[in-house]
Amino acid sequence: MTNSDLVLSVSHVTSGYSEGGFLSKRARREILHDVTFDVHHGEILGLVGESGTGKTTLARTILGMVKPDAGTVTHYTKRPQMIFQDPYSSLNPAYTVAWILEEPLRIFGKYDAPERKRRVADMLARVELPEECLRAKPEELSGGQRQRVSIATALIQRPRFLIADEPVSALDVTIQAQILKLLKELRDEFDLSYLFISHDLNVVYQLCDRVLVMKSGAVVEQGTVDDIFDHPKNEYTKQLLAAAE
Amino acid sequence: MNRNKKGYLRAGLILTCVLFALILLGFFWTPYDPTAMSGSEKFLGPSLRHIMGTDNFGRDIFSRVLKGAGLTAVIALSTVAIGAVCGTIVGALTGYFGGKVDAVLMRFNDAMTAFPSMLLALVLISVLGSGKYNVILALGIVFTPSFARVTRSAYASLRDANYVKSARLMGAGRARILFVHLLPNTMQVLLPALTIGFNNAVLAEASMSYLGIGVTPPDASLGYMLSEAQSMIASAPWYAVGTGLMIVLLIFGVGLIGEGLQRRNGGQRYA
């Protein structure tokens, strides 16, 4: 397998948080143990495991928000983006949707104002939001609409790799299905690869190509969706599947 | 939002706008020359000719109050501007980055806050000398820690918000995150703090000038006029009453605005 097929390579990553501060002793709490996996071009890799197993820490480590204590994270694409679980804190409450969507393009600094406006309008239409939303502040939108704005904001710089951390678990079931469908369409349209974090195995089964099962900070099993769901080898994976039925 | 919550803000804005309109007018026009003396019109009580009466030199007190309020307002606004800008920068850096710089700066801040502010201003004035510009500088320095504390807590509570993480992933610089992405979200706590700061500055300036360490003649602020009025409290009580009334109304109006802003924020002050 050549590197051109990869978007992300995580190799033997061990990571943790510092506790304590200026006047107290610093202690390191380990959260990830020797995590190794790759994300291939165009695939949706599911990351499952119960809460507290370090899924979000892994995402933060991949994006450089947490420094790994050991191991390496190699990105083969530029400016990976993240979609967060809580659509109520991922959009800046002080600004309108128009400003929020345009901001990544202003930061990127490649386009003039009319071109930015055009791209914002295109992206808004692509995530199936009406034009009126541009003038709204995040608080005026519903959870589903906010998550669509989050997706649009994440995609407007045209990244090739996206981490979605429980992007639908705060939404109603009907809205969940719509957002999942949208994510799948966007993957093909924008030539994206996802790391899709979820504790909901049904969602993972619908959306993902491959699955990574994590327990207590370590990857216990990985394989294609069919392998994992039909022939789980690890005891913990079997428990998870049994609990989801 | 119910009417009661809006009532404070509206009443405060109306009162403050009227007062500031009068103060602005006072910069260009006063009924009489505030420094013109008149031997025949000494110690006149309030009347239609002199609505706040005259003092021992026959000067029109209303004209003097307008001019004095102008200087007081300029000093208070400048003080708040210095304190708010410096305090916000310190608060933003310490609140957002945390760590050792935060620990050291905030302990320094605590030390400054623990020191009586009037005493600190007095020390600064004795080093800098009196006069209106030094009063502004001294009070600006004295007021910085209170703004730093308020903005620091706001920044500290917002720094882990997901929209901040997104902005970082998109490549936004630190200055852009601090002052474009986060600053507008601190307004809920910063605006009430500005109103409280303005009122404290008015009072601090008045106290300093009253004590004779503030503005110096020929400048006359409300505080300076109060100390003048004290010597003629028996012969021209309307001088002290007129000057005091102006201070009270100014503080009352801005205080109402602050109260209104805080009530509007309700429980979710850092949201």
- C-alpha B143/C-alpha B130 separation (Å) is 18
Residue showing tokens 């995580």: A10
∠ CA B63-B68-B72 to the nearest 5 degrees?
Answer: 150
Cα atoms in the 13 Å half-sphere on the side-chain side of A21: 9
List CB contacts (< 8 A) between A95 and chain B.
184
Whether residue B271 lies inside any domain: the answer is: no
Any idea what the CATH number is for the domain that residue B251 is in?
1.10.3720.10
- Please, which pLDDT band fits residue B3 given cuts at 50, 70 and 90? low
Q: How many domains does chain B have?
A: 1
pLDDT value, residue B221: 83
Instruction: Tell me phi and psi for residue B45, to 5 degrees.
Output: -75, 170
Chain A residue at shortest CA distance from B184 = A94
List CB contacts (< 8 A) between A197 and chain B.
none
Count CB atoms within 10 A of the CB of residue B223: 28
Whether residue B16 lies inside any domain: the answer is: yes
User: What size, in residues, is chain A?
Assistant: 245
For residue A216 the two structure tokens come to: 């207590």
For CA atoms A52, A72, A105, A107, the dihedral sign is positive
B78-83 average pLDDT score: 95
Alpha helix positions (H), chain B: 3-28, 61-97, 99-114, 117-128, 132-158, 162-169, 174-176, 187-210, 222-230, 237-265
Give the nearest partner residue to A82 out of B103, B166, B187, using CB atoms.
B166
Give the nearest partner residue to A108 out of B165, B168, B171, using CB atoms.
B171
How many angstroms away from the CA of A5 is the closest CA of chain B?
23
pLDDT value, residue B268: 42
pLDDT value, residue A50: 83
Calculate the CA A14 to chain-centre distance.
20
How many angstroms away from the CA of A151 is the closest CA of chain B?
11
Whether residue B118 lies inside any domain: the answer is: yes
Whether residue B119 lies inside any domain: the answer is: yes
The amino acid occupying position A218 is: A
Chain A residue at shortest CA distance from B187 = A94
- Please, which pLDDT band fits residue B34 given cuts at 50, 70 and 90? confident
| Percent over 90 (pLDDT), chain A | 67
Whether pTM > 0.80 for this model: the answer is: yes
Give the nearest partner residue to A81 out of B103, B169, B181, using CB atoms.
B169
Whether residue B153 lies inside any domain: the answer is: yes
Asked whether the beta carbons of A26 and A17 are under 8 A apart, the reply is: no
Whether residue B269 lies inside any domain: the answer is: no
Chain A residue at shortest CA distance from B100 = A22
Q: Own/partner pairs for A141-147, CB < 8 Å, 24+ apart? A: A141/A97, A143/A87, A143/A88, A143/A170, A143/A171, A143/A172, A143/A175, A144/A87, A144/A171, A144/A172, A144/A175, A144/A178, A144/A179, A146/A87, A146/A88, A146/A90, A146/A91, A147/A83, A147/A87, A147/A171, A147/A175, A147/A179
- A vs B, Cβ pairs < 8 A, gives 55
- C-alpha B243/C-alpha B69 separation (Å) is 9
Chain A residue at shortest CA distance from B101 = A22
Instruction: Tell me phi and psi for residue B207, to 5 degrees.
Output: -65, -45
- C-alpha A71/C-alpha A63 separation (Å) is 14
Instruction: Say whether pLDDT at B162 is over 60.
Output: yes
Range of the domain at B37: 2-264
Which residues of chain A fall short of a pLDDT of 70? 1-4, 19-28
pLDDT value, residue A133: 93
Instruction: Say whether pLDDT at B114 is over 90.
Output: no
**Given an 8 Å threshold on Cβ–Cβ distance, is A81 in contact with B184?**
no
Whether residue B238 lies inside any domain: the answer is: yes
Instruction: Say whether pLDDT at B160 is over 50.
Output: yes
Count CB atoms within 10 A of the CB of residue A82: 25
Give the nearest partner residue to A22 out of B103, B165, B187, using CB atoms.
B103
For residue A46 the two structure tokens come to: 């599911």
- C-alpha A35/C-alpha A11 separation (Å) is 6
pLDDT value, residue A28: 65
pLDDT value, residue A61: 92
Instruction: Say whether pLDDT at B271 is over 60.
Output: no
> pLDDT tens digit string along A75-94?
999 889 999 988 888 999 99
- C-alpha B179/C-alpha B62 separation (Å) is 43
B152-170 average pLDDT score: 92
pLDDT value, residue A46: 95
For residue A221 the two structure tokens come to: 């099993």
B218: cis peptide before it, omega within 30°? yes
- Does the interface ipTM go beyond 0.90? no
For residue A133 the two structure tokens come to: 């939303």
Q: Which helix (H) or strand (E) holds A143?
A: helix A143-155
Instruction: Say whether pLDDT at B270 is over 50.
Output: no
A79/B contact by beta carbon, under 8 A? yes
**What average pLDDT does the structure give for chain B?**
85
Instruction: Tell me phi and psi for residue B183, to 5 degrees.
Output: -55, -45
Whether residue B47 lies inside any domain: the answer is: yes
